[in-house]
Structure 1
Amino acid sequence: MQTLRRDRETDPGAHFFFNRLRVPLSNLTDPNKRVKPSDFAGKPQTPGFAARKIAADLLGNVVHKRRPLDNELDLNSGHSGFRELAFNDRALVRAILGVCLRHRGEIAEIIDRLLDRPIPEKSGRVLDILHVGIAQMLFMEVPDRAAVSLAVENASADRRARPYKGLVNGVLRRLGREREALTSDLDRAALNTPEWLLESWTQSYGAETAKAIATAHQSEAALDLTIKDGSSEVWAEKLGGTVVGAGSVRLVKKGAVDKLEGFEEGAWWVQDAAAALPAKLLGDLRGKRVADLCAAPGGKTAQLAAAGAEVTAVDISKGRLKRVSENLSRLKLSSEIVTSDIREWEPEAPFDAILLDAPCSATGTIRRHPDVPWLKQLYDVETLSKIQGELLRRVIGWLKPGGVLVYCTCSLEKAEGEDQIASVLAEVDGIELIPVTADEIGGLAASVTEEGYLRTLPCQPVTKAGDETGLDGFFAARIKRL
């Protein structure tokens, strides 16, 4: 994939501009430092400065050090500077990072057009500061003057970046003057999607759908709820939402989840409308023994328990299972909790049904996890595909005769979905595919493939009428043991 670049050899304006701002870019070094608000105690600073400083630091940790954003933002074990911020500043940091990551390729192209030569890889936080500044100028309601001033202050606060505060100031001011010329011809969907991902989606779904998927990722995911007793219409009215998918409630306005009506009493839990579909494929579960494998974060465990199943929830992460237990307690639901790698664990008796939400690349969740495209690589898909195949073949043997297994992943890659099922059906005796029907998933016919798989895409309708779109990318298939 090729992108346009502003060339100082053919653009006299660019050459003149950077002659005036000329600095030894090769001298930029990586501060490699985790900053926190207390580092600036006693020093006068502009309101909002600490949030921008932390945002640049976290952005660098995610894209350069490949640290998952959720880990950095964890209030118990995440970045110490982020944890020290006030609530409003933490919300601002989250918003800035979301925009920076959703528009990362686009912002990088703009920087290329503004610089007469690329900034060296080991350039410290200067590049991250520019990304944070541009994100605010182009995509957030922050006045240019404030965004530029805070970016310059951010560079000035770091002794290694301080010599280049003039470059930061000049680049951002020029963007303010020439934003239309610099941004009008950008192919945003392509720029903001790593090449290997766009090629994968084009091969799987066609160029038009691939672009629609990439475009959908530029918008933040909606907040969907699963209602414990199934009274979706009632809760949609109470919370001012709409019913989507197969009974999920989509909220129009977002706010603090724990302040919404019904949270304390355990009437619902947060779960994307697409993520709520696989468990529904298991049918009537009242009184049945059901395994939820790779169970965390626990939305599907809650679904199975609410449906009347005797649930055994298994996951390798003790910490994530602790949250599953806490959520089940709030919801007044119960499940047996097992901390184990299912490649080593053995059940005491076979199950009536199994839900295997296999570990995957999570490329279907980019709307809510915008760091995924910049953390994952093609080799991650290849590695995970091998694990998925191993798990799938292992757990089929844990079904009773006549039992049903639903295999699912929150990935858009066919290697982690369709290819896995085609392979296991061809290689394993005594099983058959039970096709999914639109009626089982709220009439979402566009999400049922010719083979009878469930395949949701971020650009697909989320209602039977097709008047609203926006789903996580999910794959699910249903297999019966004969």
Structure 2
Amino acid sequence: MNTPPIPTRRGAAAARLEAPGLAARALAVKAVDGVLGQDIALEDAFEGASLEPRDLALARMIAGVSMRRYGSIGTILDSLLARGMPRKSGPLEAILITAAAQILFLDVPDHAAVDLAVRLARQDDRAQAFSGLANAVLRKVSASKEERLAALPAEADTPAWLFERWRRHYGEATAQAIIAVQRVEPALDLTVKADAAGWAARLGGRVLPTESLRLSHAGPIRALEGYEEGAWWVQDAAAALPARLLGTVEGLRVADLCAAPGGKTAQLAAAGARVTAVDRSEARLQRLTENLKRLDLSAEVVVSDVLAWKAEPFDAILLDAPCSATGTIRRHPDVAWSKSAHDIGAVADLQRRMLSRMAGLLKPGGLLVYCTCSLEAEEGEQQIAQFLERNDRFRLEPVTAAEIGGLEGAVTPEGALRTLPSLLPDEDPAMAGMDGFFAARLRYLG
């Protein structure tokens, strides 16, 4: 069994971690350490890992919970580290966070989480001097976990600046509902090419009102029935809605801008559109191309910056603009801790510039759907209101609840789409919710 490389004091031989479960913990530590150093996104941290499926799943679970409950874990660890996190201690912080995540939130024996964390610290040249500290701190976490968790506020796992924004914009009750959903690992959503009910029966899932298929406890995605034959693709239920706002696209030339990783491109191609998928990232477009091949769908793929790209006008455009991605925290918990208020202003400016290019790419009478996976008004409601004030050649075409599975709560008073993570409640928290998205449908008058 191959294991992830970590620096050790005994060289390559010691890197073959023999203790059961240690390889999974090592990979989780490596992932969390990379996220904390802002070297990698959590979703990319496991690319190329060669662990056994069971160990890989455990590593993903530990790292995911570590970031999902990062605020709570950090608060508890800070209270136990009188002098703060030691400097120049290598992966010690990630070792403590992942071990605390197991003790506090996972069904793992506390003694095993402590022992394996201490082993990892001892095998790292920088962290080995603090292995005793790790042992003492984690034992204290274990001994007092119930009372320490009970003392934390509900919003502990959301950065204060972000929670305050949501409270101001959505109100206290909705803000609390959003963060409650984000504390739970979500189910897997699929978009099915055909016969969603049939695939729900075969995969043991349920069809949502929005027509997405939702699975719990799915296991490895590639092992699911229908993956190899290209019957479906992974796509959050909310992410599947913007493409539907273009209506019937069969035979139309449609541009999917900022298209990677390609879920919306696949939707449009499956609906019969002649799709041009544009993205500035060649690597992400390669993944899109591979997905289309598996799904037996086709699209023209273009590597380009949307701001510089020129083409003959299209019948319709789907602009999934770069954004802060705060609506995806339930699936990508590291986003909460990697963004700042400054990021929101920067992406809002980029969105404005992208929207200003749309008139030159649309035929008169064509439709533009602008969307972002953000909960921030500057990237959604305010962005479109300001755009319409500047551009009298575009008109908002209101979204109806019937178009989106009857989700009346997802239609704004102005007629835009606004999904929240707290939508689609369910008795099983893991089966509830959806990503936070904004979408507006605009008609170009020419």
Change (3 A) 1:36 1:224: farther
Of the structure 1 ranges 44-53 and 356-365, higher mean CA displacement relative to structure 2 is found in 44-53
Whole-Å Cα distance in 2 between the matches of residues 157 and 200 of structure 1?
A: 43
Q: CA deviation at 1:155?
A: 1.6
- The corresponding residue for 2:137 is 171
- CA separation in 2, counterparts of 1:476 and 1:368? 19
1:41 paired with 2:5, answer: no
Rounded to whole Å, the distance in 1 between the matches of 2:142 and 2:256 is: 52
Cα distance in 2 for partners of 1:177, 1:321 equals 49
> Residue 278 of structure 2 corresponds to which residue in structure 1?
314
Aligned counterpart for 1:411 among listed residues 374, 386, 397: 374
Structure 2 partner of 1:68: 41
Q: How does 1:424-443 map to 2 (within 5 A)?
A: 424-443=387-406
Distance in 1 separating the partners of 2:11 and 2:246: 54
**Cα distance change of structure 1 residues 428 and 44 upon mapping to structure 2, 3 Å threshold:** closer
Shift of 1:255: 1.6
* Alignment correspondent of 1:227: 192
Matched, 1:239 2:239: no
Deviation of residue 278 (structure 1)?
A: 0.4
In structure 2, what is the Cα distance between the partners aligned to 1:44 and 1:61?
20
For residue 90 of structure 1, report the CA deviation from its aligned partner: 2.2
Please name the residue that 2:174 is paired with: 209
Q: 1:371 aligns with which of 314, 321, 334?
A: 334
Aligned 8 A contact 1:446 1:461 in 2: no
Amino acid at match of 2:258: C
For 1:433-462, what per-residue CA distance to the aligned partner results, in whole angstroms no more than 9, with x for missing partners? 001000000001111111111000111127
How far is the alpha carbon of 1:252 from its aligned partner? 2.8
**C-alpha RMSD over aligned residues:** 2.1
User: CA contact under 8 A between 1:245 and 1:462: conserved in structure 2?
Assistant: no
What CA distance in whole angstroms lies between the structure 2 residues aligned with 1:238 and 1:51? 31
Shift of the alpha carbon at 1:112?
Answer: 2.2
Task: Write out aligned runs for 1:30-429 (5 A).
Answer: 35=6, 39-41=11-13, 45-75=18-48, 83-120=49-86, 122-187=88-153, 189-229=154-194, 231-347=195-311, 349-429=312-392
| Alignment check: 8 A CA contact 2:214 2:431 kept | no
Aligned residues: 437
Distance 2:87 2:336 in 1: 19
CA-CA distance at 1:181 after TM superposition = 2.3
Kept after mapping to 2: 8 A contact 1:462/1:471:
no
State the AA in 1 paired with 2:271: A
Answer whether contact 1:297 1:320 (CA < 8 A) is retained: yes
Report deviation, 1:54.
3.1
Deviates more, 1:65-74 or 1:357-366: 65-74
Distance 1:420 1:313, change over 3 A: same
Aligned-partner SS, 1:65 = coil
Q: Which has the larger radius of gyration?
A: 1
Residue segments in structure 1 that go unaligned for 5+ positions in a row: 1-32, 76-82
CA distance in 2, matches of 1:401, 1:46: 66
Equivalent pair of 2:410/2:419 in contact (CA under 8 Å): yes
Q: Which moved more, 1:328-337 or 1:430-439?
A: 328-337
Runs of 4+ in structure 1 off by over 6 angstroms are none
Report the TM-score, using the length of structure 1 for normalisation. Answer: 0.86
The question of whether the paired residues in 2 share the 8 Å contact of 1:36 and 1:84 is answered with no
Query: What are structure 2's unaligned runs of at least 5 residues?
Result: none
Q: 1:65 to 1:266 in 2, by over 3 A?
A: closer
TM-score calculated relative to the size of structure 2? 0.93
- Once residues 316 and 108 of structure 2 are traced to their aligned partners in structure 1, the CA distance between those partners, rounded to angstroms, is 52
Alpha carbons of structure 1 residues 105 and 422: separation in structure 2 relative to 1, 3 Å? same
Displacement of 1:202 in angstroms is 1.1
Shift in alpha-carbon separation, 1:44–1:52, aligned structure 2, 3 A: closer
Amino acid at match of 1:200: R
